Amino acid sequence: MPKLVIVGTVALDNIRTPFGEVKNALGGSAFYAGLSASYWTEVGLVAVVGRDYPPDGFSVLNRHGVDVRGIEKSAELTFSWSGEYTYDLNTAHTLKTDLNCLLSFNPDIRKSYQDIDTLFLANIDPDIQGRILDDLEKAPSLVVLDTMNYWIETKKNSLLKVLKRIGILTINEGEARMLSGQFSLVQSARVIQDMGPETVIIKRGEYGSLVFEGKSIFASPAYPLEDVRDPTGAGDSFAGGFIGYLTRHEDRSNDRLRQSIVIGSAMASFCVSDFSSRGIENLKPPDVSRRLQEFSDLTSYRSLAPILRSDGSQ
Ligand code: AMP
């Protein structure tokens, strides 16, 4: 029985970045999050794929030990997202969203999983996210949710309802502003916390992330990579990494959350180094350890002594 269950999309993506282009590439919020989380805990996916979904997708998941019992096969086409990034790699421009088999997706989570420790409601229709919570007989110890502009624009009321029922929200900075109606990210986080989640994690692409838990704020940088090739999936890999690590530990202290955010940031840095999911496939423990050490070096400095002149004069 996996400790972490992820509900989200398994997709075929068409992506163009300044560094290349891929068509029908393996993607989707649950796909990226599941692969990333698989390095940290046992994980199961709840999703749907269409008749055109290639066996490769399942091979990659199987190779990483991801439980795919909860992935339904539909006679429709697979959910497909076409997006483009220009030189601002922080902003994905959606060219087309083909919901396809997602339109009739009505998962019965109890068929695959009953007693869920941690649930990640990855980016998907908020009506589906809400139905999953309705269906569970026992509340998970932690529910994390992710969403995006598409759902804020098309299903805001459903999203607002489901936000009341979760512990942690992950959201991009532009989408945090859109959802809260605030420009300041601190104020955005406060407004969103009032909508329900105690913890709000704002993802800022190459600028890292800001984590608001109760009154505390934590900032993590993104790893400064020499070559970013495709940012698709960075947010989902980040989420998969941090939730996977949190799931492994009983304690859900703020210290543990901070550590888990660094893990998520490291996983995102692998993801963006190549197209589709290639950057987070087949990672070896020394690769991950090295990246975590690099994160520690990047952010540590000797504590500062008071440096102001005592009389405050110039
Ligand atoms: P991100 O981690 O934010 O870059 O998410 C990238 C993934 O989100 C892609 O692989 C897409 O297939 C998936 N995606 C794009 N649009 C949607 C949507 N409206 N709902 C769910 N998943 C989506």
pLDDT computed for residue 247 by the predictor: 96
Looking at the CA of residue 271, tell me the nearest atom of ligand 1: 2
Give the burial class of 59: count Cβ atoms within 10 A of its Cβ; 0-12 exposed, 13-18 middle, 19 or more buried: exposed
The type of residue at 159 is L
User: Do 127 and 152 contact (CB within 8 A), yes or no?
Assistant: no
The answer, yes or no, to whether residue 311 has pLDDT greater than 70, is no
Per-residue model confidence as pLDDT tens digits over 131-147: 999 999 999 999 999 99
Whether 47 is in the pocket of ligand 1, judged by its Cβ within 6 Å, is no
Ramachandran region of residue 214, left (φ > 0), alpha (ψ -120 to 50) or beta? Answer: left
- How long is the chain? 314
Q: Which atom of ligand 1 is nearest to the CA of 234?
A: 2
User: If 0-12 CB within 10 Å is exposed, 13-18 middle and 19+ buried, where does residue 20 land?
Assistant: exposed
* Residue 3 buriedness (CB in 10 A; 0-12 / 13-18 / 19+): middle
Atom number of ligand 1 nearest to Cα 150:
19
Res 26 pLDDT > 80: yes
What's the token pair of residue 155?
């299903």
Q: Which band of pLDDT confidence, cut at 50, 70 and 90, is reported for residue 213?
A: very high
CA 100, CA 102: separation in Å to the nearest integer? 5
Cβ(236) – ligand 1 distance below 6 Å: yes
- CB of 234 closer than 6 A to ligand 1? yes
Going by DSSP bridges, is the β-strand pair 20-27/199-203 parallel, antiparallel, or unpaired?
A: unpaired
pLDDT at 188 over 80: yes
CB atoms closer than 10 angstroms to residue 177:
18
Integer Cα distance of 85 and 17 in angstroms = 5
pLDDT at 183: 97
**What pLDDT, in 10s, does the model give residues 75-117?**
999 999 999 999 888 889 999 999 999 999 999 999 999 889 9
Distance 311 CA to ligand 1 centre (A): 55
Type of residue at 242? F
How many whole angstroms from 101 Cα to the centroid of ligand 1? 15
Which tens digit of pLDDT belongs to each residue from 38-55?
A: 999 999 999 999 999 999
Please return the burial class of 300, using the count of CB atoms within 10 Å of its CB with bins 0-12, 13-18 and 19+: exposed
Ligand 1 within 6 A of 13 CB? yes
Domain range annotation of the chain:
4-295
Residue 2, pLDDT above cutoff 70: yes
Q: Which amino acid is at 35?
A: L
Q: Is 192 in the pocket of ligand 1 (CB under 6 A)?
A: no
The structural architecture, per CATH, of the domain 4-295 is 3-Layer(aba) Sandwich (3.40)
